[in-house]
A and B are shown apart, each in its own frame.
Chain A
Amino acid sequence: MDQLLFGDNQFFGVNHMSEEKARTQAMRFQNTQAVIEVLDAALKEGIRTFMCTTHDRIAGVCDHLRLNPDRYRDYILYPCMPYAHKYNNAVTELGMLGALQKFLPVGGLLDATVQGGLALVKKDIEGIVRLLIDAEMKMFSGLNTPVIFLQNVVADFLMGLGFKEAFRIFATHVKERYGAEPGFITMNMPRMLDLLEDIGLDNPIICATINKIGFRMCGGIELYEKTLAERKFRPIAMSVLASGAIQPEEAIAYVCKLPNVKAIVFGASSRGNIRQTRALVEQMYLRRTASPSAGGEQGPGNALSASLA
Chain B
Amino acid sequence: MLRVGIIGVGKMGLSHLSIINSHPSVRVVGLCDATGYLLDVMNRYTGVDVFANYRVLFDQAKPDAVIIATPSRTHGEIARHALERGIHVFVEKPFCLSVGEGQDLVNLAARVKAVNQVGYHYRFVGAFQEAKRLLERGVVAEPHNFRVETYGPVVLRRKGGTWRSNKSEGGGCLYDYASHAVNLVNYLFGMPSGVGGSVIRGVFSKGVDDEVYSTLFFPGGLSGQLCINWSDETHRKMSMRVEVWGKNGKLNADRQECQVYLRSGSFPDLKLAEGWNLRYTTELTKPVRYYVRGEEYSAQIDYFVDCIESGRLENINSFAAALETDVVLEMLQRDAELGPSTTKAMATRVDKRKNGLGQWIRRLGGHDL
A123 interfacial by beta-carbon distance below 8 Å: yes
B99 interfacial by beta-carbon distance below 8 Å: no
Instruction: Compute how far the CA of A91 lies from the CA of B14 in the bound complex, rounded to whole angstroms.
Output: 12
Beta-carbon contact of B281 and A16 below 8 Å: yes
Q: Which residues of B contact A153 (CB under 8 A)?
A: 292-293
Q: Which residues of A contact B236 (CB under 8 A)?
A: 12-14, 22, 26, 85
Beta-carbon contact of B280 and A243 below 8 Å: yes
Least distance between A209 CB and chain B CB atoms (Å): 9
**Total residues of chain A contacting the partner, CB 8 A:** 49
B364 interfacial by beta-carbon distance below 8 Å: no
A94-B162 contact in complex given A17-B280, A160-B22, A161-B18, C-beta closer than 8 Å: yes
The residue from A15, A26, A188 contacting B290, defined by CB atoms under 8 A apart: A188
Interface string of A89-130 (1 = CB under 8 A from B): 101111111100000000000000000000000010100000
**Segment at the A interface, from B37-45, B107-115, B345-353, B354-362:** B37-45
Instruction: Compute how far the CA of A162 lies from the CA of B23 in the bound complex, rounded to whole angstroms.
Output: 12
Q: Which residues of A contact B292 (CB under 8 A)?
A: 153, 156-157, 160
Beta-carbon contact of B14 and A218 below 8 Å: no
Instruction: Compute how far the CA of A218 lies from the CA of B290 in the bound complex, rounded to whole angstroms.
Output: 6
Instruction: Compute how far the CA of A160 lies from the CA of B257 in the bound complex, rounded to whole angstroms.
Output: 28
Beta-carbon contact of B237 and A125 below 8 Å: no
Beta-carbon contact of A97 and B37 below 8 Å: yes
A18 interfacial by beta-carbon distance below 8 Å: yes
The residue from A19, A96, A188 contacting B241, defined by CB atoms under 8 A apart: A19
Least distance between A132 CB and chain B CB atoms (Å): 14
Instruction: Compute how far the CA of A147 lies from the CA of B255 in the bound complex, rounded to whole angstroms.
Output: 32
B283 interfacial by beta-carbon distance below 8 Å: yes
Q: Which residues of B contact A165 (CB under 8 A)?
A: 45
Interface string of B14-38 (1 = CB under 8 A from A): 1101110110000000000001011
Instruction: Compute how far the CA of A187 lies from the CA of B283 in the bound complex, rounded to whole angstroms.
Output: 17
Q: Which residues of A contact B19 (CB under 8 A)?
A: 160
Instruction: Compute how far the CA of A242 lies from the CA of B256 in the bound complex, rounded to whole angstroms.
Output: 12
Instruction: Compute how far the CA of A27 lies from the CA of B52 in the bound complex, rounded to whole angstroms.
Output: 48
Least distance between B255 CB and chain A CB atoms (Å): 8
Instruction: Compute how far the CA of A230 lies from the CA of B154 in the bound complex, rounded to whole angstroms.
Output: 45
B288 interfacial by beta-carbon distance below 8 Å: yes
Instruction: Compute how far the CA of A108 lies from the CA of B40 in the bound complex, rounded to whole angstroms.
Output: 31
Least distance between B136 CB and chain A CB atoms (Å): 24
Least distance between B231 CB and chain A CB atoms (Å): 11
A157-B14 contact in complex given A162-B21, A188-B290, A218-B289, C-beta closer than 8 Å: yes
Q: Which residues of A contact B14 (CB under 8 A)?
A: 157, 161
Q: Which residues of B contact A214 (CB under 8 A)?
A: 287
B11 interfacial by beta-carbon distance below 8 Å: yes
The residue from B10, B37, B45, B255 contacting A163, defined by CB atoms under 8 A apart: B45
Instruction: Compute how far the CA of A216 lies from the CA of B23 in the bound complex, rounded to whole angstroms.
Output: 17
Beta-carbon contact of A98 and B161 below 8 Å: yes
Beta-carbon contact of A89 and B153 below 8 Å: yes
Instruction: Compute how far the CA of A265 lies from the CA of B10 in the bound complex, rounded to whole angstroms.
Output: 33
Instruction: Compute how far the CA of A17 lies from the CA of B241 in the bound complex, rounded to whole angstroms.
Output: 14
A88 interfacial by beta-carbon distance below 8 Å: yes
Beta-carbon contact of A85 and B287 below 8 Å: no
Instruction: Compute how far the CA of A35 lies from the CA of B271 in the bound complex, rounded to whole angstroms.
Output: 40
Beta-carbon contact of B38 and A243 below 8 Å: no
Beta-carbon contact of A157 and B282 below 8 Å: no
A245 interfacial by beta-carbon distance below 8 Å: yes
Beta-carbon contact of B256 and A156 below 8 Å: no
Q: Which residues of A contact B47 (CB under 8 A)?
A: 162
Interface centre among B19, B176, B281 (most CB of A within 10 A): B281
Q: Which residues of A contact B256 (CB under 8 A)?
A: 15-19
Least distance between B105 CB and chain A CB atoms (Å): 26
Interface string of B251-288 (1 = CB under 8 A from A): 00011110000000000000000000000111101011
Q: Which residues of B contact A98 (CB under 8 A)?
A: 161-162
B46 interfacial by beta-carbon distance below 8 Å: yes
Beta-carbon contact of A163 and B257 below 8 Å: no
The residue from B18, B41, B161, B280 contacting A123, defined by CB atoms under 8 A apart: B41
A272 interfacial by beta-carbon distance below 8 Å: no
Q: Which residues of B contact A215 (CB under 8 A)?
A: 282, 285
The residue from A22, A85, A97, A125 contacting B45, defined by CB atoms under 8 A apart: A125
Beta-carbon contact of A88 and B237 below 8 Å: yes
B100 interfacial by beta-carbon distance below 8 Å: no
Beta-carbon contact of A218 and B287 below 8 Å: yes
A96-B291 contact in complex given A16-B281, A17-B256, C-beta closer than 8 Å: no
Beta-carbon contact of B291 and A85 below 8 Å: no
Instruction: Compute how far the CA of A137 lies from the CA of B69 in the bound complex, rounded to whole angstroms.
Output: 33
The 4 closest A-B pairs by CB, nearest first: A160-B18, A245-B282, A187-B291, A95-B162
A and B contact pairs by CB, cutoff 8 A, 16 listed: A17-B281, A26-B234, A92-B154, A96-B10, A156-B291, A156-B292, A157-B14, A158-B18, A160-B18, A160-B292, A161-B21, A163-B46, A166-B45, A188-B291, A243-B281, A244-B280
- Which residues on B are within 8 Å of A, measured CB to CB? 10-11, 14-15, 17-19, 21-22, 35, 37-38, 40-42, 44-48, 153-155, 159-162, 164, 176, 234, 236-237, 239, 241, 254-257, 280-283, 285, 287-293
- Which residues on A are within 8 Å of B, measured CB to CB? 12-19, 22-23, 26, 85, 88-89, 91-98, 123, 125, 153, 156-163, 165-166, 187-188, 191, 213-218, 220, 242-245
